[in-house]
Structures are given as structure tokens and as C-alpha cells.
């Protein structure tokens, strides 16, 4: 092992597309940290090149007459411009491992991640369990990109499964902070509920006419409820989450709303924009407005509201956090909806929502209000297989699940790659999944379980 670790300092990768990715060194180090030395083999690099050739000299082989030992790998990774596409692809295991690294580790390694972090509760909620076996779920874990599955019903955890060691379990455990993707939108909405209930924001229907960052954009003076419902009339400027038809658009932003700039910088490209007839239009700007309006209205108390939401209410056992946009200030709107939590803390937060609803707390009444004011999202078609199951949208939550009575209070959080947190407020049932790619049987293990139970 000592020999391997010494060699790692001069590790190189074979030329399978790696030159295109700046984070590959960090990926290599992550594999080693997790003890995955089996991905490598030792070779004498100077014997790989013709003596006195350009590559022979570039490898300084003249200085190593006894040979130059290095590790190489033949990992078969397919690289994409962004995340793995959600449709019409069948990523292999090596590609999924690299995607997992990008999900949970890469932002820390390449300096992208600063954060608004909430420390654990001094009295975290401890779940009771009465576990059932589920052989079908076991098979799903063996062949899909599932990382974690939790079913909560009858006030206890009924199913608790994590990816086995021979899949992804060697890279994650119960303390691993898992990326939320668009589940973070719902976390922003729940944070807003606490800001309203603490008196920082008047109501669900507050007009956004007191925030300078929105001035001279289509969002100014809109009702907060329309922003929450992605119903702000911005579809002439943003389509399928991408900028369109904006003048003087920074070339780095074309076709992108990746959230790596402050809200103010994104809104700069929407100056003089006008709202069109409202309709559902799913994009990150509306979610960013929600979270950063809380940041604006709470000022120096923003972290206190986050603590109220996650530390005091949900009683988290590990820290959770939202991204903070690097090199940006609060005034510019530097809170990002990307959220991280452990698998159990996602369930703790969902249970806090369930308790709020059933106990009719102020935050519970907020959840009931957004459910009552939900709108249809059926005008926007997406090919993600789980997208059509929820036909409505309720304040940054999915709603109106097909085959379930529209008056039965079921709301869900849905993020790219198979992140799902779905809550049946009437039947006290919660399903939480974390995954790298949504190639698992969502209709059976998420939707079907919520609809009928186990």
C-alpha cells in the first residue's frame, strides 16, 4: 500500500477522453481516498514510448535509466458537456462512478463551493424502525444508479436501503452529504415558510416591489405566489431552463442557467423585460428569487432562519447547506438553491413538513396554502419518465399526481438524476430516493408506494 501511495504522486491516466476534464486529478484522488486502487495498474511508462521520441523526452525518460513506474487506468468513462442526459442513454458503471464524484465531491475539490451551512441539532430526531424486506428493491440497487431508498410510514422507517458495497456503497455512507439538484427548490420554499411565520415577510401573496435587484425586470411587483408557482410570465426569455431572446447576453450564459453567478448578474440580462400572459415555466430564476428574497428580507438573520428551519424544526443530525455563489455579496443575491444533506436528514426535513401540516402550525398552513393554490404544469412537456406523474405545481413542489384523488394532499420534491422526496400528508407516508441517474423503476418504487403503500 505504501508503494502504491508513493506512486500515486506521479499517477497519469490513459488517453480515454480525460484531457477534456479539468477535475480528473481530483477524481483520481477521490478514488484513492476511497481505497479503490483496483482501478489502476502499474506500468513502466518509458517502455511505452519509442526511445528518443518526443513523448519519451516529455516523460523525462532519459533521467530514469532503470525505468519510470507509473499507474494508469482503463476506466471506460463517457464524458458529457453537462450532466448525463436524462433520456435515451444507458450509462455504464464507470461513467456513473464519475458522475457520483461530480455530485458529491467535485465542487469541494475545485473550489466552487462556499456555503450557507446549518450545524446539527444538539437533540437530533431519532427514527424508530420496523424494517421490511423488499427483494425487488434489492434487484434495483444491483443494476441501477440508486444510492439510497427510505420509506417512512406508521411513524417509523419501514424500508431502509443503501447501495451495496460492490456498487456505490464503497463511496457513500449515512454521513455522506448528497446533492439535492432541484429538490433544493422545495427546501427554499420551506425556508420561506419560516421567514413568513417569523414575520420577516408579510405573506404568500406579498408583492415584490421593495427589492432593488428586481427593478426594471419582469419580476418586479409580481406576487410572490406567482414566482413560487413558476407562473411569472417569463417564457419569452427563458425556455426549458435556458435563456432565449435576450439582448447583449454574455456568451457564457447562452443556453445556461447553471447558478454559478449571482441572481443580480442573471437579472442584468433581463433588464427592460416584460411579463407575458402567465403560464407554468420551470426554471431556476424563479427558485433563486424565492431563496434570495428570504436572504434580502431577513438580512443578518438569514442564517437564523436557516437554523430555525433545519436545526430547530427538522432536528438534523448532520450539517446541511445551500450553495453560496463565489465572489458575490448578499446584496447581489448570492444564495443558490443547490442543497446538500445526508439521506436521513432529507427524511428528517420531510417529516418536519409532515408534522407541520398535521399539527396545523404556521408553516403547516403555508404548505396547505401552496397546495390549495397549485397550478397545472401540463403545458410543459418533458421526456423525463417521472415528470408526467405529477400534473400540477404547488409553490416549488410537485402536485396533482395522476391516479391519486386531486384533493388528497400529496406533494413531492423532484431533482435531476432521481432525487425524490414525496409526502402523503393524509396517510403519513414519505418516500425518499437519492440516485445518480434515474434509470430505476420510479413508477413502482416511488409513485406506486406513495399511492398504495407497501
How many residues in total does the chain contain?
Answer: 454
Position 331 in a domain: no
Burial class (CB in 10 A: 0-12, 13-18, 19+), 241: middle
Instruction: Confirm if 415 and 187 have CB atoms less than 8 A apart.
Output: no
CB atoms inside a 10 Å sphere around CB 244: 13
The C-alpha cell 399539527 sits at 359
Where does a domain end: 107, 138, 170?
107
Domain of 388, CATH number, reads 3.40.710.10
Parallel, antiparallel, or unpaired: how do β-strands 419-424 and 178-179 relate? unpaired
Spatial contact of 246 and 253, defined as CB atoms under 8 Å apart: no
Average pLDDT along the chain, 454 residues, taken 10 residues at a time: 35 35 70 80 82 87 85 79 88 94 76 84 97 96 98 97 96 96 97 98 97 96 98 91 66 52 88 92 95 98 98 98 90 94 98 98 98 94 84 98 95 97 98 97 97 88
Q: Are 151 and 157 in contact (CB under 8 A)?
A: yes
Same domain, 174 and 194: no
Local structure of 30: helix, strand or coil: helix
**Got the DSSP string for 313-382?**
IS--SS-EEEEE-TT--GGG--EEEEEEE-HHHHHHHHHHHHHHHHHT-HHHHHHHHHHHT-EE-TTS--
- Do 383 and 447 lie in one domain? The reply is yes
**Co-location of 197 and 174 in the same domain:** no
| DSSP state letter for 308 | I
Whether 286 is covered by a domain: the verdict is yes
Sequential DSSP letters for 125-193: ----B-----HHHHHHHHHS-EEEEEEEETTEEEEEEE--IIIIITT--TTPPEE-TTHHHHHHHHHHH
Q: Establish if 329 belongs to a structural domain.
A: no
Which region holds residue 275: left if phi is over 0, alpha if psi is between -120 and 50, else beta? beta
Domain count, the chain: 3
Q: What is the value of pTM for the model shown?
A: 0.89
* Cα distance between residue 119 and residue 131, in whole Å: 29
The number of beta carbons lying within 10 Å of the beta carbon of residue 312 is 15
Which pLDDT value is given to residue 339? 96
Helix or strand (DSSP H, E) at 43: strand 40-44
CA distance 331 to 34: 40
41 strand-pairing partners: 72
Residues 165 and 198 in one domain: no
Looking at residue 289, what is its pLDDT? Answer: 97
Q: Taking Cα atoms as reference points, which of 131, 80, 107, 173 lies closest to residue 326?
A: 107
Alpha helices in 259-316, H assignment, sequence order: 263-267, 284-298, 302-306
Co-location of 209 and 283 in the same domain: yes
Residue 400: the pLDDT is 96
Residues 442 and 347 in one domain: yes
Q: Which of 350, 337, 16, 391 is nearest to 192 (CA)?
A: 337
Asked whether residue 320 is domain-assigned, the answer is no
Chain centroid to Cα 139, Å, comes to: 25
- Grid coordinates given for 444: 413502482
**Domain identity same for 199 and 303:** yes
b/e code 115-150 from CB counts within 10 Å (16+ = b): bbebebbeebbebeeeeeebeebeebbeebbbbbbb
d(CA 190, CA 207): 19
Q: Which residues 6+ apart lie within 8 Å of 403 measured at CB?
A: 451
354 and 253 in one domain?
no
What domain range includes position 280? 187-309
- Taking the C-alpha atoms of residue 32 and residue 273, their distance in angstroms, rounded to an integer, is 50
DSSP secondary structure, 383-402, as one string? --TTGGGEEEE-SSSEEEET
The closest of 91, 299, 113, 336 to 200, measured between CA atoms, is: 299
- Final residue belonging to a domain, choices 253, 286, 309: 309
> Left (φ > 0), alpha (ψ -120 to 50) or beta: where does 433 sit?
beta
- Residues 299, 237 within the same domain: yes
Residue 420 in any domain: the answer is yes
Grid cell for residue 363: 408553516
Amino acid at each position: 500500500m505504501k508503494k502504491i501511495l508513493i506512486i500515486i504522486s506521479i499517477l497519469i491516466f490513459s488517453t480515454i477522453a480525460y484531457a477534456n476534464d479539468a477535475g480528473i486529478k481530483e477524481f483520481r484522488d477521490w478514488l484513492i481516498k476511497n481505497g479503490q486502487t483496483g482501478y489502476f495498474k502499474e506500468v513502466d511508462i518509458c517502455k511505452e514510448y519509442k526511445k528518443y521520441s518526443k513523448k519519451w523526452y516529455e516523460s523525462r525518460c532519459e533521467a530514469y535509466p532503470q525505468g519510470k513506474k507509473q499507474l494508469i487506468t482503463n476506466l471506460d468513462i463517457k464524458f458529457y458537456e453537462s450532466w448525463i442526459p436524462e433520456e435515451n442513454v444507458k450509462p455504464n458503471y464507470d461513467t456513473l462512478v464519475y458522475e457520483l464524484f461530480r455530485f458529491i465531491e467535485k465542487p469541494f475539490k475545485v473550489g466552487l463551493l462556499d456555503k450557507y451551512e446549518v450545524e446539527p441539532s444538539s437533540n437530533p430526531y431519532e427514527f424508530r424502525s420496523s424494517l421490511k424486506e423488499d427483494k425487488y428493491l434489492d434487484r434495483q440497487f444491483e443494476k441501477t444508479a440508486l444510492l439510497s431508498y427510505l420509506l417512512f410510514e406508521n411513524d417509523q422507517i419501514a424500508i431502509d436501503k443503501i447501495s451495496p458495497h460492490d456498487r456505490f456503497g464503497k463511496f457513500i455512507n449515512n454521513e455522506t452529504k448528497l446533492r439535492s439538484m432541484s429538490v433544493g427548490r422545495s427546501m427554499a420554499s420551506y425556508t420561506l415558510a419560516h421567514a413568513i411565520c417569523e414575520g420577516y415577510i408579510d405573506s404568500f401573496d406579498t408583492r415584490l416591489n421593495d427589492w432593488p435587484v428586481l427593478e426594471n425586470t419582469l419580476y418586479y411587483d409580481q406576487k410572490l405566489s406567482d414566482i413560487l408557482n413558476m407562473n411569472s410570465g417569463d417564457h419569452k426569455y427563458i425556455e426549458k431552463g435556458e435563456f432565449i431572446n435576450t439582448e447583449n447576453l454574455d456568451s457564457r450564459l447562452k443556453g445556461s442557467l447553471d447558478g454559478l453567478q449571482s441572481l443580480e448578474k442573471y437579472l442584468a440580462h433581463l433588464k427592460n423585460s416584460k411579463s407575458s400572459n402567465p403560464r407554468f415555466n420551470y426554471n431556476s430564476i424563479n427558485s433563486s428569487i424565492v431563496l434570495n428574497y428570504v436572504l434580502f428580507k431577513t438580512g443578518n438573520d438569514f442564517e437564523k432562519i436557516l437554523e430555525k428551519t433545519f436545526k430547530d424544526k427538522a432536528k438534523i443530525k448532520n450539517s446541511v447547506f445551500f450553495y453560496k455563489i463565489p465572489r458575490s455579496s448578499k446584496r447581489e443575491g448570492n444564495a443558490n438553491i443547490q442543497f446538500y444533506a445526508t439521506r436521513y436528514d432529507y427524511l428528517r426535513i420531510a417529516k418536519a413538513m409532515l408534522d407541520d401540516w398535521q399539527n396545523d402550525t404556521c408553516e403547516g398552513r403555508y404548505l396547505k396554502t401552496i397546495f390549495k393554490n397549485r397550478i397545472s404544469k401540463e403545458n410543459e412537456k418533458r421526456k423525463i419518465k417521472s415528470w408526467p406523474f405529477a400534473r400540477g405545481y404547488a409553490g416549488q413542489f410537485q402536485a396533482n399526481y395522476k391516479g391519486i384523488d386531486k384533493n388528497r394532499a400529496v406533494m413531492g420534491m423532484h431533482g435531476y438524476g432521481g432525487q425524490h422526496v414525496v409526502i402523503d400528508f393524509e396517510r403519513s407516508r414519505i418516500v425518499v430516493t437519492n440516485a445518480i441517474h434515474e434509470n430505476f423503476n420510479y413508477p413502482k418504487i416511488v409513485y406506486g408506494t406513495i399511492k398504495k403503500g407497501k
